[in-house]
Chains A and B, each alone.
Chain A
Amino acid sequence: MTMLEESLALSGVLFSVGVVGVLMRRNAIVMFMSIELMLNAVNLSFVALSRNVGIEGQLFVMFVMTVAAAEAAIGLAIIISIFRHYESVDIRKFRLLRW
């Protein structure tokens, strides 16, 4: 009993939830959480597929988690300093990088 299809379906649902979160939400921290959700959705599909394809999938998950942890640290630090500056985490207000 591998539950491969169920795992991939769950992974797809989680990923889509993440994408929609990133697209719809204005709050930077929530967007950040949605990105984590997408990363973990991918992790799930890696793990699920590693049974059939090979151990590299699980190995890759370790990398993703490490990078995600570093990203979370840096990302949260940036969000905090933005918050200090703007007193807000609404990304619609951050429009410096524009033409």
Chain B
Amino acid sequence: MVGGPLIGLLGTVLQEGAEHAGEFVPFLPAWMILLPFIGFVINGLVAYTAPERRKLVSVVGPGVLGLAFLIAAINLVLIAGVHDAEPVVRSYWTWIQVGQLRIDAALQIDQLSLIMALVVTCVSFIIHIYSIGYMGEDPGYARFFAYLNLFVFFMLVLVLAANFPLMFVGWEGVGLCSYLLIGFWFTQPAKAEAGQKAFIVNRIGDFGFLVAMFMLFAYLGTLDYQSVFALAPSGFAYGGAAVTVITLFLFLGCTGKSAQIPLYVWLPDAMHGPTPVSALIHAATMVTAGVYLVARSSVLFALAPLSMNVVAIIGGVTALFAGTIAIQQYDIKRVIAYSTISQLGYMFLAVGVGAFTAGIFHLGTHAFFKALLFLASGAAIHAMHHALHHAGEDASEDASQDMRNMGGLRSYVPTTFRTAWIASLALAGVFPLAGFFSKDEIIWSVGARGQTALWIVAVITALLTAGYITRWLVMVFYGQSRVSDKARQYLHAAPWVMAGALVVLALGSVVTGWINVPEALPLLPEFTWLHHFLHPAFAQAEHIIVEHVGEAAHVAPFGGGEGTWAIASTVAAVLVIAVVFQALKDKKYLPASESAEPTGIAGLLYHKYYVDELYDLVIVRPFKRLCVFSWRFIDQGIIDGALVNGSAYATRFGGWVLSRFQTGYIGTYVLVIVLGVLIILGAVTL
């Protein structure tokens, strides 16, 4: 509660500065990207030459990100001091020049890219520090930090790029790092396969991104953001086929990267990676790249109302769909993974109805509380794995991540327990935590733009969210411990680096919401800082939407203003939490090895609506059959059999036939010669 006025003060200072400020000059923008790369090079060399030098890695890995975070923060302060600062494009060299295509290795530093860079560097810095504790005993320590640094490098390329192809470089790079890190323990087949699944599913999305870029170039002749967005309103008809198809292909890329229906299936499997990876890549940063892409291309999407609707509907449906699955999962990380898919759906819902700021706002707050939830899960898994391992029991991933085996961890990992509560309340959207402000703004924006059906979906999902996260808390932290007595004595709290990271993220989950307090809330000062800050980035798109669709309304679909619904939703969330908590508190869970598989609707949810099985049946297996057909029939049959071996057989057969003429009898030869002479003579005389 103290935070509000404080940040309000800071905001006025910043806005004061705007009055008499000159031009925005970015501070060492390239170093933001170079620092993680330097970290990657150093850690990579250590991993190759001297993997036991952990101290060096522990300093370099998080250190470079701390510096990058500082640079991002300085730049953010600088740009916030300039009113409606123009985007700054720094071009370093010409990367590709063919005909009229010219692509520079250029960075665009503006409000949107800086806020993304700040979220990325901040969360990744904290998670790097957490990893010092979490991965401390892993033999691949240096390799892990090298990959993690490389990931941040690519992620910053993605958000800071000034044109689509350079963004695509970052886009593919984060995909590569995701693959490397999901399969970090690649000696276990399930983990290596999960990495491959993520990579292959993402290829489908990348195809969409590529096609969209080709079409953009074909229509506008350029791929630089500035030129594309300047040319788009005149180059494309409003709602025309070209811009609709381009944006739909872009969105196909987003569904892959950001795990939306129909390409979300890779994200739950990506939980096979180390938990810091799940927190950083598969919750806070990489998976939000799709939301960033839509927000970045807001002008294009604003020109294509049909695509906007598709984005909003896919986002809303995904939010509800993944939220229901999260109710019946037993793996501690999978609940959070489906929650992530669901929250990403919220972000797409927001950008889909044209509330770009709300989408980016939720992206930022979600990065903190979802990373916190993952890291808290990681601390619980860490404790469980340690205990099971020392008690000589089954300490496999399945056993140490199954919530049915946990319970009662509250007294063993107190810091984790408290921070997990904060994160859960933030996720559930309870005032005054971060999720309240961002989720509320999304739900409000959806209602205010007249999307009644999607508004209802969003409200139901919000209640579901409160439900499944309470179930998660109860199963992990409350009740009786369900591990054996022997294992119980080995349960221990996380090392201080991990606990410290949790506390910092918990702090972030509390305060980040306060950067955008809507005016409608009673008793609070209006402080829509983020809205004003991001205004230049979305002004053009919002102008197009207002021009063609009209202003957003000021009432929800069933009456009532923003303030009323915000209070109602918080009360509803608290009620759901209380009810679920009371209902589950005394419920006895059996350990995973003794539990029966859920049946009925619970079974349907437990099996994730059988979507993986459906994809397996409809896509994977026919494709495999096609592959076997190509292998057995086309390659082995036609190419190897008929063409390669066939020509050899034909030659051999010809030789065999001709060799029959070599009888060894002189008489035969003479006869043939005589006959030949007679034929020639006959031919000559006739």
Contacts and interface: CB of A to CB of B under 8 A. Distances in A.
Contacts of B685: none
A96 B674 contact: no
Interface string B432-457: 00000000000000000000000000
Interface string B648-686: 000000000001101111110011001000000000000
A72 interface: no
A98 B663 contact: yes
A28 to B, nearest CB: 9
Contacts, number: 27
A99 to B, nearest CB: 4
A98 B662 CA distance: 6
Contacts of B671: 23
Contact of B667 (A91, A96, A97, A98): A91
B665 A19 contact: no
B664 A23 contact: no
Contacts of A95: 663-665
A48 interface: no
Contacts of B662: 97-99
Given A23-B667, A99-B659, 16 more contacts: A19-B670, A19-B674, A22-B670, A23-B670, A23-B674, A31-B666, A91-B665, A91-B667, A92-B665, A94-B664, A94-B666, A95-B665, A96-B664, A97-B662, A97-B664, A98-B662
19 contacts: A19-B670, A19-B674, A22-B670, A23-B667, A23-B670, A23-B671, A31-B666, A91-B666, A92-B665, A94-B664, A94-B666, A95-B664, A95-B665, A96-B664, A97-B662, A97-B664, A98-B662, A98-B664, A99-B660
Interface residues of B, number: 11
Contacts of A19: 670, 674
Contacts of B659: 99
A98 B665 CA distance: 9
A99 B657 CA distance: 11
Contacts of A96: 664
Nearest to A91: B666
B314 to A, nearest CB: 74
Max count, chain B CB within 10 A of own CB: residue among A31, A97, A99 = A99
Contacts of A23: 667, 670-671, 674
A95 B664 CA distance: 5
A99 B665 CA distance: 12
Contacts of A98: 662-664
Interface of A: 19, 22-23, 31, 91-92, 94-99
A95 B663 CA distance: 8
Contacts of B667: 22-23, 91
A19 to B, nearest CB: 6
A31 B666 CA distance: 10
Nearest to A25: B667
A22 B666 CA distance: 9
A96 B662 CA distance: 11
B684 to A, nearest CB: 16
Contacts of B674: 19, 23
Nearest to B661: A99
A24 B674 CA distance: 13
A60 to B, nearest CB: 19
A91 B671 CA distance: 15
Kindly name the residue among B659, B663, B667, B674 whose own CB sees the greatest number of chain A CB atoms within 10 A: B667
Contacts of B665: 91-92, 95
Contacts of A99: 659-660, 662
A23 B671 CA distance: 7
Nearest to B671: A23
A31 B671 CA distance: 13
A19 B671 CA distance: 9
Nearest to B662: A99
B601 to A, nearest CB: 79
A95 B669 CA distance: 13
Nearest to B667: A23
B428 to A, nearest CB: 89
Nearest to A97: B664
A71 B204 CA distance: 83
Contacts of A97: 662, 664
A66 to B, nearest CB: 24
B37 to A, nearest CB: 71
Nearest to B674: A19
A22 B659 CA distance: 23
Q: Which of B659, B666, B671 has its CB near the most chain A CB atoms (within 10 A)? A: B666
A99 B671 CA distance: 19
Contacts of A92: 665
A34 to B, nearest CB: 10
B664 to A, nearest CB: 3
B679 to A, nearest CB: 15
A14 to B, nearest CB: 15
Contacts of B660: 99
B676 to A, nearest CB: 13
B673 to A, nearest CB: 10
A24 to B, nearest CB: 8
Interface in B619-666: 659-660, 662-666
B460 to A, nearest CB: 86
Nearest to A24: B667
A6 B448 CA distance: 126
A22 B671 CA distance: 9
A98 B664 CA distance: 5
Nearest to B660: A99
A99 B668 CA distance: 14
Nearest to B658: A99
A99 B664 CA distance: 8
A91 B665 CA distance: 7
A95 B668 CA distance: 12
A26 B112 CA distance: 105
Nearest to A34: B670
A92 B663 CA distance: 10
A94 B668 CA distance: 13
The 7 closest A-B pairs by CB, nearest first: A98-B664, A95-B664, A99-B659, A99-B662, A22-B670, A91-B666, A97-B664
B363 to A, nearest CB: 81
B159 to A, nearest CB: 76
A19 B667 CA distance: 10
A96 B667 CA distance: 14
A71 to B, nearest CB: 15
A44 to B, nearest CB: 19
Nearest to A98: B664
B471 to A, nearest CB: 84
Nearest to B663: A98
B670 to A, nearest CB: 5
